[in-house]
Structure 1
Amino acid sequence: MMLQQEEIIKKARELGFADIGFTTADPFEEHRRMLLERQEEYGWAEQVGLDLLKGTDPDAILPGAKSIIVLIENYFSHAYPRSMEGIFGRCYLDDDRVTKDGLVPRIKAFRAFLREDGINTKVPFNLPHRVAAARAGLGDFGRNCLFYAHNAVRGGSWTLPIAVVVDREFTPGTPTLGIGCPDWCKNVCIAACPTGALKGSGRIDPRKCISFLSYFGDGITPLKMREPMGMFVYGCDRCQNVCPRNQPWLAQALPVNERAAAKAENFDLRALLHMDTAYFESSVWPHMFYMSSADIWRWKMNVARAMGNSRDQGFVPDLARAFEENEDPRVKGMAAWALGHIGGDQAKTALEKFSETTLAGPVAEEVRLAMDACA
Structure 2
Amino acid sequence: MSRTEHDIDWGKLKSELKEAAPQLGIDKIGFAAADPFTELKGILLKHRAKGFESGFEERDIEKRVDPSLTLAEPRSIVSIAVAYPSKLKDPPRSEPGAYRGMLSRSAWGTDYHHVLRNRLERLADWIHARVPDARLASMVDTGALVDRAVAERAGIGWVGKNCSVITPEFGSWVYLGEMITNLPFPPDQPVLESCGDCTICIDACPTDALVGPGQLNAQRCVSYLTQTKGIIEDDKLKEKIGNRLYGCDTCQIVCPKNKGIHFDHHPELQPDPEQVKPLLKPLLEMSNREFKERFGSSAASWRGKKPIQRNAILALGNFRDATAVPQLAELLRRDERPEIRGTAAWALGRIGGEAALEALDAAREHERDDAARREVEKARMKLRERKDDHVGSAEV
Query: What's the TM-score, normalizing by structure 2?
Result: 0.80
Change (3 A) 1:350 1:35: same
Q: Does 2:103 align with 1:88? A: yes
Cα contact 1:309–1:338 (8 A) shared by 2: yes
Query: Of the candidates 317, 320, 344, which is equivalent to residue 308 of structure 1?
Result: 317
Equivalences for residues 166-245 of structure 1 within 5 A: 166-176=181-191, 180-183=194-197, 185=198, 187-216=199-228, 218-245=230-257
1:71 & 1:197 partners in 2: Cα distance? 28
1:120 & 1:227 partners in 2: Cα distance? 49
Q: Per-residue deviation at 1:159?
A: 1.0
Equivalences for residues 235-274 of structure 1 within 5 A: 235-249=247-261, 259-261=270-272, 264=275, 267-274=278-285
Cα contact 1:146–1:157 (8 A) shared by 2: yes
**1:110-152 Cα deviation digits (max 9, x unpaired):** 11111112232211312111111111222112211111002x2
Q: Does 2:176 align with 1:158? A: no
2:303 & 2:353 partners in 1: Cα distance? 35
Q: Secondary structure at the match of 2:251?
A: helix
Asked which structure has the greater RCO (Cα within 8 Å, sep 6+), the reply is 2
Query: Of the candidates 136, 140, 145, which is equivalent to residue 127 of structure 1?
Result: 145
2:269 & 2:63 partners in 1: Cα distance? 38
Change (3 A) 1:116 1:262: farther
2:191 & 2:265 partners in 1: Cα distance? 29
Q: Per-residue deviation at 1:368?
A: 3.4
Moved more, 127-136 or 73-82: 73-82
- Flag the structure with larger Rg: 2
Q: Secondary structure at the match of 1:116?
A: helix
1:170 & 1:200 partners in 2: Cα distance? 35
Name the structure 1 match of 2:350.
Answer: 341
Name the structure 1 match of 2:121.
Answer: 108
1:130 & 1:284 partners in 2: Cα distance? 27
1:282 & 1:50 partners in 2: Cα distance? 32
Overall identity of the aligned pairs, in % = 30
1:350 & 1:270 partners in 2: Cα distance? 18
Query: What's the TM-score, normalizing by structure 1?
Result: 0.84
**1:164-214 Cα deviation digits (max 9, x unpaired):** 111111121112478x1142x3x2211221222101132111121111122
1:52 & 1:80 partners in 2: Cα distance? 41
Cα contact 1:138–1:176 (8 A) shared by 2: yes
Q: How many residues align?
A: 362
2:283 & 2:256 partners in 1: Cα distance? 33
2:226 & 2:340 partners in 1: Cα distance? 14
Q: Per-residue deviation at 1:157?
A: 0.9
Unpaired runs of at least 5, structure 2:
1-6, 94-99, 388-396
Change (3 A) 1:48 1:19: closer
Unpaired runs of at least 5, structure 1:
none
Q: Per-residue deviation at 1:315?
A: 2.5
Over the aligned positions, Cα root-mean-square deviation in angstroms equals 3.2
Name the structure 1 match of 2:130.
Answer: 117
The one-letter code matched in structure 1 to 2:119 is R
